Structure 1
Amino acid sequence: MSDEKVELGKKLFWDGRLSGDGSTACVACHMPQMGWAFTSPISRGYPGTVHWRFSQTVLNSGYYTKLFWEGNVNSLEQQAKAAATGAVAGNGDESMMEMQLRFVPEYVEDFQNIFGTPWPNIEDAWKAIAAFQRTLVSDPDKVPFDRYMNGDESALSESQLRGMELFEGKANCVACHSGPLLSDQSFHALGVPNNSLFESEPLYQISHRWQQYQKGVSEDVYRTANEDMGLYYGTKDPENKGKFRTPSLRELKYTAPYMHNGTLATLADVIDFYDAGGGEHPNKSSLMQPLGLDEKEREDLVAFLEALSMDEPLLMDSPALPASVPLQ
């Protein structure tokens, strides 16, 4: 980490030249004004395609041990690469993106100063983007919950305090949403219903079927798959079908909708889902049980969840991007 590497990473995070046609920079799916996510149930895709999952926020992502909903990479460097090269995300070719950087004199100088290479190397670009993303963190002085935990007893309202008691007790949210990140960083099946877009829109069905194929499932699974199977794609263990990594609850006030496919629009919807004991799935976690919350308890729980976010969102202006010029 260095100031220079972070500043380079910020520019690259905004630079569409790290994509197939210049249109899909990292920020295209992780917008500051949208909680560093993309507030559509299914994220935008590369032009001519659509994605198949909700785009998670990159806030506090430096603290995850596994990235993406199915946990298929274990570093921000790998995450940046996977997103920029993914066919329904950035759709970039690494050699072409590297050459794009080499035609930008300012980048050539930056990479020389930071990495000691005569020309930009694409692997170093991922390192710079990862360094920038590690600076995108919640400010504990601006988070009511953190202020309360640090001794400010006035930081939480009476409703939020009751919600915290429910969170740790009757609702048992803490069973999975624990620790500073408010995530056990494990994988659970909740029975989240499929997004109806995949039942009615051909382009979404194309993405869904293509993803099944490229993730290496057997042909019988590929031919009949009607759900996103999450962790199963990496393990091929049937007991992992329907399991997704527990997301952090930090900054969730600014990152609606919720779940891996964006099917729950509000925090109230999320509480109702858990209160009902989740949905139906053969691998559903035994932790998912009806909670029996009354209306006031549901309101208090939502109030506490909102206290896990900063008082105001983390915004950032777009950097000025350097121009490409012909080689001499």
Structure 2
Amino acid sequence: MGVSAAVADPITMDDFVDADPAQARIGQLLFYDKILSGNRNISCGTCHHHDLAGGDGLSLGIGEGGRGVGPERIAVDIRKRIPRNAPSLWNIGHNSVDVLFHDGRLEVSDQFGNGFDSPAEEWLPSGLDNIVAAQALFPLTAQFEMAGNPGENDIAGATHDRIDAAWPIVSARVRAIPDYANLFIQAFDTVDEPLDITIVEIGNALGAFINSEWRSFDSPYDAWLIGTPLPAAAERGRALFFGEARCASCHSGPLFTDQGFHAIGLPGFGPGRTRTFDKLPRDVGRMGETDLLSDAYRFRTPSLRNVALTAPYGHNGAYPTLGAIIAHHSDPAAARAGWIPDMAQLPEVPWLASVDFAIRQDSREMARQDAALDINPVALSVSEISDITAFLHALTGQTADVRPLGRPTTVPSGLPVD
């Protein structure tokens, strides 16, 4: 593919799903309101914070049971780290996005009659506006993210009965707060009284906020698309990216992702995304969703929009810098061999230390991960890696740090805002 053929058309506002401003305002409050969590101690914004470009700056997050934000977050009482890096929210409201999560466990689909193939299967309610609205509901049911542990609260208990059993409890919490009830009545045609507020309206409000809040397409690269030259290093990096380095074979299209799944051989560590019948602290990626051996260790291609703002990198945050993750793509075997645990941004949790890197002692598992590689490495010099890094910085929006609504200082529940 030639360089010109790989270049996407400029992004415009018409390329995004609609987001009602009144609903987005409710979503902004809910996004930072800990009322949605089982123990009322964590919000969506804790791990997707405005001060951290919609992320948390950690390789593997500290969810329910932690205190603080980002690299300063501490574990107070947690049983497990969140097994994957907090995914970026930038531009996920783009019309091209039809699959989300690192393993793609949420997809636009008619399979269950509600618009999506999701972990909730036929129990996901109908009426969710788009995939982002659907996605927003699943952290609420995740034990180590927002739900909490069985026996601690009614949401955690209900979730362990069936995934959809917790959502009516969440809805009841929200509609019991008069300020939320009034806002929903004003913003939603489906809500005439507080009892009409369901998890569908909550998901749609969160979706409206995320879809409108994290749009970004005013980078130097976007200016280049309409005729403004890039700085010399970024231009050399652009030529490599779309040319000899073959980065665009996966990072293609307006969002720099093919939305596909690829094994790139990242170093394994962390608690893993364990399955009921597979307790090894490993993450088999897409295979965990499809049960196909051919999908083992494959993960969704991330968008590279604003990627310079969202370190660390990889589905488990294995690499702290853009240069390091590019070098890994250039020579995965050497990068894996040279990777050391200090490269992972993991707040100290002494009672989990024995688990953090345990999988690396399993020689057979390491061999399986070594063998799973979809990319065809292209040797890059130090200067070429530097140029590609410069190009990736040119994908940072000029106004990325100026969001339409931002972080609220207070929320209707009265709970503290991270």
Q: Normalising by structure 2, what TM-score?
A: 0.68
Distance in 1 separating the partners of 2:274 and 2:216: 39
Q: What does residue 121 of structure 1 align with?
A: 198
Amino acid at match of 2:82: H
- Secondary structure (helix, strand or coil) at the match of 1:44 reads coil
Q: Is the 8 A contact 2:35 2:413 kept in 1?
A: no
Amino acid at match of 2:408: S
- Secondary structure (helix, strand or coil) at the match of 2:36 reads coil
- Secondary structure (helix, strand or coil) at the match of 1:299 reads helix
- Secondary structure (helix, strand or coil) at the match of 1:309 reads coil
Q: Deviations over 1:183-222 (max 9, x none)?
A: 0000001111112xx3xxxxx4xxx3xx4235xxxx3xx1
Within the candidate set 378, 381, 392, 1:305 is matched to: 392
Map 1:244-283 → 2, pairs under 5 A: 244-277=299-332, 281-283=370-372
Distance in 2 separating the partners of 1:247 and 1:164: 18
Q: Does residue 237 in structure 1 map to residue 237 in structure 2? A: no
Deviation at 1:165, TM superposition (A): 0.6
Deviation at 1:113, TM superposition (A): 2.2
- Going from structure 1 to structure 2, the CA distance change for 1:322 and 1:138 (only over 3 Å counts) comes to closer
Distance in 1 separating the partners of 2:102 and 2:413: 35
RMSD between aligned alpha carbons? Answer: 1.7
Map 1:118-197 → 2, pairs under 5 A: 118-119=193-194, 120-141=197-218, 143-153=219-229, 156-195=230-269
Q: Is the 8 A contact 2:90 2:216 kept in 1?
A: no
Stretch of structure 1 that moved more, 2-11 or 312-321: 312-321
Distance in 2 separating the partners of 1:181 and 1:150: 17
Distance in 1 separating the partners of 2:306 and 2:22: 27
Deviation at 1:227, TM superposition (A): 2.1
Q: What does residue 110 of structure 1 align with?
A: 183
Within the candidate set 170, 174, 188, 1:97 is matched to: 170
Q: Is the 8 A contact 2:33 2:413 kept in 1?
A: no
Deviation at 1:94, TM superposition (A): 2.0
Amino acid at match of 1:136: E
- Going from structure 1 to structure 2, the CA distance change for 1:97 and 1:226 (only over 3 Å counts) comes to closer
Distance in 2 separating the partners of 1:230 and 1:86: 17
Q: Does residue 70 in structure 1 map to residue 99 in structure 2? A: no
Deviation at 1:90, TM superposition (A): 1.1
Amino acid at match of 1:101: V
Amino acid at match of 2:388: L
Distance in 2 separating the partners of 1:227 and 1:283: 14
Amino acid at match of 2:387: D
Deviation at 1:319, TM superposition (A): 4.6
Identical positions, percent: 28
Deviation at 1:226, TM superposition (A): 4.3
Q: Deviations over 1:86-132 (max 9, x none)?
A: 11111143232212112211111122222232222122101100011
Within the candidate set 136, 149, 152, 1:80 is matched to: 136
Amino acid at match of 1:288: N
Amino acid at match of 1:77: A
- Secondary structure (helix, strand or coil) at the match of 1:24 reads coil
Distance in 1 separating the partners of 2:184 and 2:315: 36
Deviation at 1:151, TM superposition (A): 1.6
Q: Is the 8 A contact 1:242 1:281 kept in 2?
A: no
Q: Deviations over 1:247-291 (max 9, x none)?
A: 000011110000000111100101110111465533311x332x2
Distance in 2 separating the partners of 1:90 and 1:323: 16
- Secondary structure (helix, strand or coil) at the match of 1:54 reads coil
Q: Is the 8 A contact 2:216 2:400 kept in 1?
A: no
Distance in 2 separating the partners of 1:85 and 1:272: 37
Q: What does residue 317 of structure 1 align with?
A: 407
Distance in 2 separating the partners of 1:260 and 1:148: 30
Stretch of structure 1 that moved more, 251-260 or 292-301: 292-301
Q: Is the 8 A contact 1:188 1:246 kept in 2?
A: yes
Q: Normalising by structure 1, what TM-score?
A: 0.86
Within the candidate set 90, 109, 134, 1:59 is matched to: 90
Distance in 1 separating the partners of 2:52 and 2:411: 21
Amino acid at match of 1:24: I
Amino acid at match of 2:302: P
Q: Is the 8 A contact 2:88 2:310 kept in 1?
A: yes
Question: Structure 2 regions of 5+ residues with no counterpart?
Answer: 1-18, 66-77, 108-130, 148-154, 156-165, 337-368
Q: Is the 8 A contact 1:239 1:283 kept in 2?
A: no
Distance in 2 separating the partners of 1:133 and 1:45: 20
Q: Is the 8 A contact 1:41 1:54 kept in 2?
A: yes
Deviation at 1:24, TM superposition (A): 1.2
